[in-house]
Amino acid sequence: MARTYYFPPVVIMEPGAIELIAPEIKRMNVKKALVVTDQVLIDAGIVQEVLNVLDNAEVAYAMFSDVKPNPTVTNVNAGLQALQDNECDFVISIGGGSPQDTAKGIAILATNPGDLRDYEGVGKTANKSLPIVAINTTAGTASEATINYVITDEDRKLKMVIVDPNCLATVAVNDPNLMVKMPKSLTAATGMDALTHAVEGYTTAGASRFTDLFNLEAIKAIAGSLREAVANGENVAARDDMAYGQFVTGMGFSNGGLGIVHSMAHQLGGFYDLPHGVCNAILLPHVAAFNADAVGDRLKAVAEAMGVDTAHKSKEAINELAIEAIKQLSKDVGIPSGLAEIGVKEEDFSELADLALADICTGGNPKCPTKDDVIAIYKAAF
């Protein structure tokens, strides 16, 4: 069956990448940017590095930095107002998934009527967003590469997953020099988020030969570099490998889909305002165990991509080795071992399971879960 694949039209990567954004902006024939970021990145001096490039190129801009770690509809609406008030005609996002997703929501609402809640789901907008220059500063979400974004509806305490080719960035930028100041905990969480994308993207029902190339390559890069990136954040080579790994899996899962790791993690984020990467990391091995009998030999490929020797072992033993490799990497980079450690409450499992089953990512899971299955996974991860 024929498929359509979506990728950013321009990709700038490797150390020093931000120095190349000005010519791309000039080619876009735009006048003024809304720079979307957060206060943490401003305080760290990372945003100023980008602003210096813009200033030197005489690119006009206004700032919007009121982005929450789990961005909300309110954040997006405030950003849209800032864009309109400052008469901006394109967006530059600086940050990880939170600024990137907020920028997508702003750019979509600038060209499409109504409320962001109107566009929850798949492909509901009529018009391409404003141009977006997406400058990534974390090796995790790959939002700069994908047709997806996630915004929390505060009223429903729900993370809305929006899949929309119209939100795809015009220019995607990954400069590992912007990532060396990331703290260990954020490096670990975003790195495990990227690994989850790759493993889940490789085992999802929507995987193809094309997406497999990206996701297996990402597993190799992440498994080989995340420990060093966490232990020695100034190691630019490790940061570069992580930036590369998270980006290529972004191109993979954006075009193949995900599964119930993400469905379940989205609810934890919306319910408790928890870090998405940490939730994914805790859930991933338990979902992999649930899906093991439905993915053929794919966990064998995952294990081998993570450096595990699978020779002369049974399928069951190989599946267990793949799951243990995931758990060990998570442990080595300091991720909490269970949901109880991060404040999740067992009495909420029933409601969380209902929400997870309604999440758009559930349709991509290789094995159809029941409510009892989802509750059991939450309990196993508790």
- 346, 295: one domain: yes
Q: What is the pLDDT of residue 1?
A: 74
Domain-embedded: residue 337: yes
- 164, 49: one domain: yes
Q: Which of 138, 153, 178 is the last residue of a domain?
A: 178
CB 181 within 8 A of CB 145: no
Q: What is the CATH number of the domain that holds 91?
A: 3.40.50.1970
- 96, 28: one domain: yes
- 44, 158: one domain: yes
Q: What is the pLDDT of residue 59?
A: 97
- 208, 155: one domain: no
Domain-embedded: residue 40: yes
Question: Rounded to whole angstroms, how far apart are CA atoms 105 and 98?
Answer: 11
Integer angstrom CA distances of residue 286 from 92, 103, 133, 297: 37, 33, 36, 18
Domain-embedded: residue 274: yes
294 Cα distance to chain centroid: 25
Domain-embedded: residue 1: no
Question: Rounded to whole angstroms, how far apart are CA atoms 288 and 200?
Answer: 8
- 225, 332: one domain: yes
- 79, 29: one domain: yes
Q: Measure the CA angle with vertex 39, ends 37 and 45; round to 5°.
A: 90
Q: What is the pLDDT of residue 2?
A: 85
Q: What is the CATH number of the domain that holds 278?
A: 1.20.1090.10
CB 288 within 8 A of CB 294: no
192 Cα distance to chain centroid: 10
- 144, 224: one domain: no
- 108, 241: one domain: no
Q: Which of 143, 178, 213 is the last residue of a domain?
A: 178
Total domains present in the chain: 2
Domain-embedded: residue 4: no
Q: Measure the CA angle with vertex 263, ends 262 and 264; round to 5°.
A: 90
Q: What is the pLDDT of residue 295?
A: 97
- 252, 359: one domain: yes
Question: Rounded to whole angstroms, how far apart are CA atoms 175 and 315?
Answer: 40
Q: Which of 121, 152, 178 is the last residue of a domain?
A: 178
Q: What is the pLDDT of residue 213?
A: 97
Q: What is the pLDDT of residue 122?
A: 94
Q: Which domain holds residue 137?
A: 10-178
pLDDT one digit per residue (tens) for the chain, 382 residues: 789 999 999 999 999 999 999 999 999 999 999 999 999 999 999 999 999 999 999 999 999 999 998 899 999 999 999 999 999 999 999 999 999 999 999 999 999 999 999 999 999 999 999 999 999 999 999 999 999 999 999 998 888 999 999 999 999 999 999 999 899 999 999 999 999 999 999 999 999 999 999 999 999 999 999 999 999 999 999 999 999 999 999 999 999 999 999 999 999 998 999 999 999 999 999 999 999 999 999 999 999 999 999 999 999 999 999 999 999 999 999 999 999 999 999 999 999 999 999 999 999 999 999 999 999 999 999 9
CB 171 within 8 A of CB 134: yes
Tell me whether residue 127 is exposed, middle or buried, using C-beta atoms within 10 angstroms of its C-beta: 0 to 12, 13 to 18, 19 or more. exposed
Of 287, 285, 380, the residue nearest 326 (C-alpha): 285
Domain-embedded: residue 2: no
* Secondary structure letter of residue 294 according to DSSP: G
Q: Say what the pTM is.
A: 0.94
- 163, 192: one domain: no
Of 381, 380, 379, the residue nearest 346 (C-alpha): 379
- 157, 305: one domain: no
Domain-embedded: residue 236: yes
Domain-embedded: residue 5: no
Q: Measure the CA angle with vertex 100, ends 142 and 46; round to 5°.
A: 95
